[in-house]
Every structure is written in structure tokens, then in C-alpha cells.
Structure 1
Amino acid sequence: MNAAAIHADRVRKVYPGERALTALDGISLDIRPGEFVSILGPSGCGKSTFLRCVAGLEPVTEGTLSVDGRVVAGPPDHLGMVFQRDALLEWRTIERNILLPIEFAGKPTQAYRAAMAQLLKLTGLSDFGDRYPRELSGGMRQRAAICRALIDQPGLLLMDEPFGALDALTRDQMNVELQRIWLETRNTVMFVTHGISEAVFLADRVVVFSPRPGRIADIIEVDLPRPRRLAVRETAQFGAYTGRIRDLFHEMGLINEEPVQAIEEAA
């Protein structure tokens, strides 16, 4: 059996200061190689902090955190990251934006031209490589950001609410696109999101975080065949998964569905 791609054992993260803030407390989780895992939870629950710890951008306070069997002490090798904002450089063409990590690594960009062309084709951007970011829609810019993250064939892809700034229709399309890309590349993916339906649609497992300090409230195995179409969200099985998560959020006091009439009477 392969070792875990990501291994967390009782990870705790505390931001020091006069009023120390505990962001994560007792996170234990194994993510398998090639697995797509969604990290879901309310704002401020520590899910993005956990992602930054895995990326080596934040040190853990206690516990053990390793990637591919190596303790994280800085950004791991073969890592790609995608953030909510695409962070494309406006003065560089899409091709030159995609090749930026190669330049930073001091590698010859010419050797990656074929890989870049394949990624542009995979994401439907073949005709836009010589365009500038301002000429692309939000969804196209985010696809370019995904290409940039994948150009050096990372084994691990970390995504921090990458579609949060997109409109609902574009976000749905990007969910389908990301699934298709992942089925081609089979990277290990950790995907942070606020969206319950998005988390279930994309993931092999959904890890639900509690409010701060972030703890794992539940881990849900998503047994839905792939590739998944958006219509799967209308099925009873999909509804059972999302309903389970909503019930959990309700128990944690994150969802209040008290009828309006009852609220008015109480007032």
C-alpha cells in the first residue's frame, strides 16, 4: 500500500501574541496519492491555514505534518497552488504567465513548450496563449492559473477557494473542467471551499471542519461514479451527502432555519 501523500497527526496551529489565537487543534488526516479531498467549513475555521501549513508557508505549532513521507519544513517538491484570485501578471501573455514557475525554478522554458500546449488544449485555451489576462473572462483566467500550477507536473495540487470569486454559472462550469483535468492528471488534490455542493461534486472524500479552533467534525466518503455531470446534484444520493453536511452544520449552530414567523413572535 502506498504511503499517504499528506499525513497529519494531531496538528495544532497557534498564532502567538497577547491574545493567542488557536486556528487548528488536533487535526489528524491521511490523504492518499491521487485522491481528491475537499476541505469544507465556515469562514475562519482554519481550513486555509491547514492548506498553508501543508504548503510549507506556515509552521505547525504541535504535531506532525508530512508530504510524501517528508516532514514539511518549507514548500514541498512537486507542489502546485491555485488561489481564489488568479494572480496573473497583467503585463505577461498567458503563455508567459504559465511558464513563470519554470523561470523561477531556473529551468529551460523551451523544454516545457509541449507540456504548455497540452495544458492549453486541455483547458480550452489553445487560441489564447498570446493574449493578455485583461482580454480573458474570469473563468478563462482561472483556467490559466490552473495551467500555471500544473506546468511542472506537480504530484500535489493545493487549491484555496479557487472559484469563490466567480459567478454561479461559471463556477459550475469550472467544477466540471477541474474534474476533467484531474481525471487526466490524477494529481493528489486538496481543495478548500465554502460550498457544500461543490465539495461533494468534486471530491472522493469531504473533510468537514468545525468552527475555530478547526477540528475535523466528520469525514464523508463520496461514492458517486465519475465522470460526474452537474445533473448528479439532483439525485437522491447526492442530496443525502449534502443533507448530512447541512445537518452537521445545523448541529454546530452554523445554520439557523427557524421559521420567520417564529422569529417575529419571539421579537
Structure 2
Amino acid sequence: MSKAAVSARNVRKQYTGGVLALQDISLDIAPGEFVSILGPSGCGKSTFLRCVAGLEESSSGELLVQNQPVQGPPDNIGMVFQRDALLEWRTVEKNVMLPIEFKKKKVAAYRDKMAGLLKLAGLSDFSRSFPGQLSGGMRQRAAICRALIDDPALLLMDEPFGALDALTRDQMNVELQRIWMEIGNTVLFVTHGIAEAVFLGDRVVVFSPRPGRIAEVLTIDLPRPRKLSVRETPEFGRYCTRIRELFEEMGLIDEGNH
């Protein structure tokens, strides 16, 4: 049996006050796999990501990262949030180096790694710029570099492009795919965008409304690297149609009045 990067068995999360966020989540994510978690707002997808990150404690069930029970933030993970959370008074390179400083590692030993990441993200010319001098997409690329600087085996992304305009979001989808294909780590990517989930994912895990359950898991059989034009193909359309059908069955989309 191959070792899963993330393994969840009957994971349940209930908050103080009685709100049940997650119910019976069972999922294995293979090393190097890109998994999109898709669902409506409030369905528990970000809660599940936070449980994997050790920022929330699941109420019951079993949750393993790299075959170790999650008890606080696991080693060797990186996280990217919807807001880039860059420190405005630090340059791009000093923002990227923050995790190294926090772990009290030698910054000098990571300079080559940082330069490589900035080159990969198209930010080599902006290493000494401050966040206020960057576009939204560039800021998010810097946040991704920061998450990758310490070679995390698992990258957790919580709607990282949700605040971007549509064109920049498309560009970031292509950029993220390219960086992931180059690095080859495991990615768990939360979104509420159907096309984004299908474009990026090896699999798309569809969550039901709260309490979040796994409604269906779709394997996305589309060759990589994927260009944005793949979204115009019948194959891509079939995946999106199936997800919309699931949302209709859940009462999230009403096509009858249009």
C-alpha cells in the first residue's frame, strides 16, 4: 500500500455552540497529486484545509499527514491564503525568507533557492521591490514563493486567487500549474470556481453544503500542461456540466426559472 500524503478517515468537525462543519470526510491524497476541493461558501472546505494544516482540531475521525497524526501544524507544509499577507515594510526577497527566519535557519543557505523560485515565478526583477509596488498577481506569486521556500512536501492553498480579477486569475492558474509541474509537490487547493477546480486538479472533490460531506470525486483525465484553451473543449465541458448537475441536485443552482 502506497503512503498517502494526506489521509482522512471519517473526519468530523463540530464547533463549540453546535455548528457541524464537516461530517464523515474520508479521502486519500497521493504524493505529488494536485487535488481541488470545490464547494459553495460555508460548506466546510476551508475548515477541512485548516484541519489538515493543524490550525483547527477535528472533533473525531483520523487525519494523517505524511503518515503522522495531525497534532498542531505538521512539519514540511506550506500554506497560501486568499490574502497574500505580505509585510508591506519588507522587500519581496525578505518576505519570501520569512519562514526561514521563523525557523531560525541560516538565510544565506537559502539564497540560491529563493533566486530560483523568484525566477520560476517571474519575479527576479522585483526581488528588492516592496509589496505596494506590485500588482495583485505578482503579490500572490510572491506569497507562493514564500510558501515554497522551505521545500514543503504539501502545499495548502485556501482560495488563493479569489480576490483577483478574472484575467489575472486565469494567468495565475497557468502560473501555478507550471510551478507545481516543475516542483512536483502535493497540492490541496480550495476554490468555489468550477472551471478553476477542473483546470488545475488531477481530481476534484465536490463538497456538499454544510455540514460538508464529499458528494463526489471526479478524476480529471486531461493532458498536462493544460492551456486555457482546454476550457473550450467538449471534455472539459463535460466535467463542468457534471459538477453543475451535482450543485443542482443539492439545490444550489436553480435552472428552472431562466
TM-score (norm 2): 0.99
What amino acid is aligned across from residue 11 of structure 2 in structure 1?
V
Does the CA-based 8 Å contact 1:51-1:160 persist in structure 2? yes
For 2:202 and 2:247, locate their aligned partners in 1 and report how far apart those are by CA, in whole Å: 20
Residue 259 of structure 1: how far off its partner (Å):
2.9
1:138-177 residue pairs with structure 2 within 5 A? 138-177=136-175
What amino acid is aligned across from residue 154 of structure 1 in structure 2?
P
Paired residue for 2:210?
212
Does the CA-based 8 Å contact 1:201-1:233 persist in structure 2? yes
Deviations 1:145-176 (A, max 9, x none): 00000000000000000000000000000000
Does the CA-based 8 Å contact 1:2-1:33 persist in structure 2? no
For 1:219 and 1:159, locate their aligned partners in 2 and report how far apart those are by CA, in whole Å: 19
Paired residue for 2:21?
23
What amino acid is aligned across from residue 9 of structure 1 in structure 2?
R
1:103-252 residue pairs with structure 2 within 5 A? 103-252=101-250
For 1:52 and 1:120, locate their aligned partners in 2 and report how far apart those are by CA, in whole Å: 27
What amino acid is aligned across from residue 140 of structure 2 in structure 1?
Q
Paired residue for 1:263?
none
For 2:5 and 2:133, locate their aligned partners in 1 and report how far apart those are by CA, in whole Å: 37
1:21-100 residue pairs with structure 2 within 5 A? 21-100=19-98
Deviations 1:6-53 (A, max 9, x none): 000000000012xx1000000000000000000000000000000000
Q: Report the secondary structure of 1:191's partner residue.
A: strand
For 1:181 and 1:2, locate their aligned partners in 2 and report how far apart those are by CA, in whole Å: 25
Q: Report the secondary structure of 1:148's partner residue.
A: helix
Q: Report the secondary structure of 1:213's partner residue.
A: coil
Does the CA-based 8 Å contact 1:39-1:193 persist in structure 2? yes
What amino acid is aligned across from residue 169 of structure 2 in structure 1?
R
Residue 2 of structure 1: how far off its partner (Å):
2.6
TM-score (norm 1): 0.96
The structure whose Rg is larger is: 1
What amino acid is aligned across from residue 107 of structure 1 in structure 2?
K
What amino acid is aligned across from residue 194 of structure 2 in structure 1?
I
Q: Report the secondary structure of 2:117's partner residue.
A: helix
CA RMSD in angstroms comes to 0.6
Paired residue for 1:11?
11
Does the CA-based 8 Å contact 1:123-1:177 persist in structure 2? yes
What is the aligned-residue identity percentage? 72
How many residues were matched structurally?
258
Deviations 1:43-95 (A, max 9, x none): 00000000000000001101000001000001111110000000000000000
Q: Report the secondary structure of 1:130's partner residue.
A: coil
What amino acid is aligned across from residue 136 of structure 1 in structure 2?
L
Question: Structure 2: any 5+ residue segments left out of the alignment?
Answer: none
Does the CA-based 8 Å contact 1:34-1:189 persist in structure 2? yes
For 2:251 and 2:155, locate their aligned partners in 1 and report how far apart those are by CA, in whole Å: 32
